[in-house]
Amino acid sequence: MVDHGVLIWVAELADPSRSIAAFTAEGSGDIGQSDIVRIDPAEEQYVVILHLQDYSSEVGRTYLVGVMVFGRQLGMTAFTVEASQAPHRNGAGPPR
């Protein structure tokens, strides 16, 4: 299922005009399949995968995530990026 009228965007709270990511039904192709909006018809939800390391996000900053459908704002939320406490992929922990 594809909805060509949906746009999901991520921007800095301090400067909402500075978008760090945008997701559409077609995707940009810049980040493979990670920038494509998927639709879960059973749950009636739009789904995106935001890999923060692929974008210019910074620890400690707060970002807005918004959903627009056919030019109308459907909803918005915010999140703050925190330093990871999980082991890095090479098995080493975060720097101390």
Per-residue pLDDT at 69: 87
- Position 7, amino acid: L
Full-model pTM: 0.69
* 65: in domain: yes
Residue 22 contacts residue 9 (beta carbons within 8 Å): yes
In a domain, 16, yes or no: yes
61 assigned to some structural domain: yes
Domain span at 10: 6-80
pLDDT at 95: 45
Reduce the secondary structure of the chain to three states and give it as a string: CCCCCEEEEEEECCCCCCEEEEEECCCCCCCHHHHECEEECCCCEEECCCCHHHCCCCCCCEEEEEEEECCEEEEEEEEECCCCCCCCCCCCCCCC
Give the chain's domain count: 1
Please write the tens of the pLDDT for every residue from 7-34: 888 999 998 888 888 888 777 655 545 6
Cα-Cα-Cα-Cα torsion 49, 53, 54, 60, nearest 10 degrees, comes to: 90
Residue 75 predicted with pLDDT over 50: yes
